[in-house]
Each structure stands twice: as C-alpha cells, then as structure tokens.
Amino acid sequence: MGAIRYSKITIRQPELLKAKVEKAAALRGMTVTSFINGILELAADKTIGRIEARELTERDSAALLAMLGKPSRPNAALRRAAKRHREISGG
C-alpha cells in the first residue's frame, strides 16, 4: 500500500469563526488541521450518503409502483407548460 498523498485547500473565514475552530480543536486536544479534516470528512460522508443511498420504505415503494402503474392524465397546467415548451424550443 502506497503512502498517503496530501493536497492543500486554502479557505478564508471570519476571524471569529477561526477563533471558534481553534478553541474547539484545542478542547479536543487536536490540531486545527486534524479538527477541520475530521469535520469535513463527516460532512462529506453525510452528503454523499444522503444523495447516493436514497432508500424507499416498503410503503413508499408500493405507492411509487402504484403511481407508475396508473399514471395520472396531464392536468391543464402541465398541458400549458408543454405547449409553451414546444413554442419556445421550436419543437
């Protein structure tokens, strides 16, 4: 396994936020870099997880399948939007 490669991210933040981050890192006995990396990783994992793992409950799955099986007819607003789209796009 190869060595870990590092890259640099430069950010600007208000002085009050910097002081708060430094205090939080110190209270945890961490360097500011370690503290920020840990928080960034948690935020990235949460964001990626929420977007990539969209799970439906059984009830949601049943409702979706029912809707797909019997699609509703386009209402007046949808028909108007489709007409505008055709006019604008030339199609």
Range of the domain at 24: 15-89
- Contact between 21 and 36 under an 8 Å Cβ cutoff? The reply is yes
> Residue 55: pLDDT above 70?
yes
Does the residue 10 lie in any domain? no
- Predicted TM-score (pTM) of this structure: 0.55
Task: Check if the beta carbon of residue 21 is closer than 8 Å to that of residue 35.
Answer: yes
Burial letters for 43-67: b for 16+ Cβ neighbours within 10 Å, e otherwise? eeeeeeeeeeeeeeeeeeeeeeeee
Structural domain count of the chain: 1
Phi-psi region of 22 (alpha: psi -120 to 50; beta: other; left: phi over 0): alpha
Mean predicted confidence (pLDDT) in 62-85: 93
Query: Per-residue pLDDT averaged across 20-37, rounded?
Result: 97
* Residue 5 domain flag: no
